Amino acid sequence: MIVSEGYKNKLKSKYFGLLNEREKGGEWEKFLDTIVIELLGFEEDNKTINYERLLRKTQSLRFLRYEYFRKTVFECMNLITGLSD
């Protein structure tokens, strides 16, 4: 199964929403949890090296200071582009 461009865009939007929620001091950890749960639900044949990197970086977001958090969110968004291409 190949990840569609529409789904990739939806996933990128979730990361952008996560960043916005963190910036306004909202409940960003709940957003993060939903993204991690969604990534864990990927089918086995979609678990490429980009997937593994995306999952690890996403899981690390909970522990990062803001400047690293922001940088890592954008790295995750870039990794999404390479999912199952």
pLDDT at 1 over 50: no
Q: What is the per-residue pLDDT across 60-72, written as a single tens digit (0 to 9) for each? A: 999 999 999 999 9
- Structural domain span for residue 68: 5-81
Quickly state the pLDDT bin for 55 (edges 50, 70, 90): very high
Helix (H), strand (E) counts: the chain: 4, 0
d(CA 55, CA 4): 18
d(CA 20, CA 66): 12
- Under 8 Å between Cβ of 70 and 19: yes
How confident is the model over 44-57, as a mean pLDDT?
Answer: 83
Q: Into how many domains does the chain fold?
A: 1
What pLDDT is recorded for position 79? 94
Q: Which two tokens stand for residue 13?
A: 């939007």
Q: What is the per-residue pLDDT across 3-50, written as a single tens digit (0 to 9) for each? A: 789 999 999 999 999 999 999 999 999 999 999 999 998 877 667 788
Geometric angle at alpha carbon 58, from 75 and 26, rounded to 5°? 100
Q: Which two tokens stand for residue 9?
A: 């865009």
